[in-house]
Amino acid sequence: MPLYLALKEIRHNKGRFILISLIVTLITTLVLFIAALAQGLADSNKEYIESLTGELIVYQSNVELSIPSSRLGRSKTNQIRRVEGVADAGQIGFASATIVFDRQVDGAAAQDGSSIQEPLDVSLIGVESGHPGEPIVISGSPLGRNRSNGVIIDENAFMRRDIQLGDTITIKSTQGTQEEFYDLTVVGIAGRQLYQFNPSLVLPYLTWEKVRPQANVSEQSEELVSNVVAVRTTQDATPSDVAQRLVNEVEDIEVVDRVTAYESLPGYAAQQSTLNTQRFFTLFIGILVIGGFFQIQTLQKVALIGMLKAIGASNVTVAVATVAQILIVNVIGVLIGGAICYALALSFPVEIPVRFSGNSVASALILLLIIGPVGGLVSVWSLLKVEPLTALGLAQ
């Protein structure tokens, strides 16, 4: 009976319920889009660090976990490797460069009328071959010698530009005040490895040292210096214990796990906080809108509820019918909104950082399905207090 009553009223007042379903659809689209944007922006910042084959990241002390400010030499890395519980450690250096596609051997652009791809900004990452920091390839082979010209690209670069295994790519890098060009060969393709919103280009460390932009090319360091060191612990050691040993036995370092490392990236926390606040207020607005709609509905059908109660309908029947009505309208709106977001996601180019992950979508949909009944609680409570005789105007 309650479900029959709910469906009967929806059919009788189709216009009103279609309107609130469309409102729920818009709220759903907005919430899911914000959730996908938050996930996409977070992944664009952290994918490389999150996927590191090491549990700990070592920084220079007193740099507030700033990767560009941190400097760790080869001697410090060797000390780290000797600490009990450390299975392996690898230096990692970060820089930025550009892949260019319009430079021929003689320095001129293509003249045959063929289309030229736009330059692609990349994060230039130097790692020690075979050590933590080198990504796992999904196609091709790992890096070779530390002086080789082989590189690993992540699949973002593969999707954004027509770069294939075995291709020779040209890196433009500023050396001093001059632009220099370096030819590198793609030997492997890794999974998603975005860092600082750019696709990653992973090179052997000595090659990275030569290719990376430098303010003064005449400066020569006495030892190879990296920004951070990735540490893989032994199976019988807990990362927290190893981190404490590292701090105690190696001077002037700070050790954190990967989550702390990427949460400390510039702007990451503020960005996520802003987007989560937007999502919270969108859900709050949804509760107010749905609650307001059903409260108005309640005021318009007080006499009808009074009649139902007068002929024997219980409070339980009235409450269940109202909640069922709210759920039906809410589910329809959420499903339509989810379908719209899915269609939008398929139309976005790969450069736009919008990503629908299972966890974020599921949590958003659950919250959206909850806001309907929550918003309608006031109207349900109002209906339960309706007195039949008063509602029909027969009370003395």
Tell me how far CA of residue 268 lies from CA of 40, 42, 94, 197, 361, in angstroms: 12, 7, 18, 11, 20
pLDDT value at 167 more than 70: yes
Q: For residue 109, how far is the Cα from the chain centroid?
A: 37
Q: % helix / strand / coil in the chain, to the nearest 5?
A: 50, 20, 30
Radius of gyration of the chain (CA): 30
> What whole-number distance in Å separates Cα of residue 122 and Cα of residue 236?
37
- Helix or strand holding residue 341 (H, E): helix 315-347
213-223 as b/e: b if 16+ CB within 10 A:
bbeeeeeeeee
CA-nearest of 392, 230, 234 to 303 is 392
Mean local confidence (pLDDT), 202-211: 90
Range with the largest mean pLDDT of 10-14, 34-38, 196-200, 226-230: 226-230
**Secondary structure of residue 110 in the 3-state scheme:** coil
Listing DSSP states for 44-98 in one string gives HHHHHHHT-SSSEEEEETTSTT-TTT--EEHHHHHHHHTSTTEEEEEEEEEEEEE
Q: Are 110 and 182 in contact (CB under 8 A)?
A: no
For 257, the token pair is 């796990």
Q: What's the rounded Cα separation, in Å, for the pair 273 and 276? A: 5
- pLDDT: is 313 or 83 the higher one? 83
CA distance 301 to 391: 9
Interhelix angle 268-300/302-310, rounded to 10 degrees, is 60
pLDDT band (50, 70, 90) for residue 322: confident
Q: Which helix (H) or strand (E) holds 382?
A: helix 377-384
* SS3 state of residue 187: strand
Residue type at 129?
A: S
Instruction: Kindly indicate the confidence band of residue 106, based on its pLDDT and cuts at 50, 70 and 90.
Output: very low
Average pLDDT estimate for 4-9? 67
Q: Which of 203, 39, 196 is nearest to 121 (CA)?
A: 196
Sign for the CA dihedral angle at 241, 242, 247, 250 comes to positive
Residue 3 has pLDDT above 70, yes or no: no
**Tokens coding 171:** 């890196």
Q: With contact defined as beta carbons under 8 Å apart, do 185 and 166 qualify?
A: yes
How high is the pLDDT of residue 1?
A: 66
Q: State the Cα–Cα distance between residues 305 and 321, nearest whole angstrom.
A: 11
- The pLDDT of 217-227, averaged and rounded, is 71
- Other Cβ atoms less than 10 A from the Cβ of 182: the count is 16
**Tokens 């009808």 label which residue?**
304
Tokens of 313: 């309908």
Please tell me the predicted confidence (pLDDT) of residue 107.
44
> Would you say residue 207 has pLDDT above 60?
yes
- Choose the weakest-confidence range: 170-174, 259-263, 265-269, 321-325: 321-325
Mean residue pLDDT of the chain comes to 81
Pairwise CA distance, residues 344 & 327, whole Å: 25
Instruction: Please provide the DSSP assignment of 123-180 as one string.
Output: EEEEE-TTSTTSPPEEEE----STT--EEEEEHHHHHHS---TT-EEEEEEEETTEEE
Look up the pTM and report it. 0.76
More confident residue, 54 or 394: 54
CA neighbor of 246 nearest in space, from 50, 53, 67, 61: 61
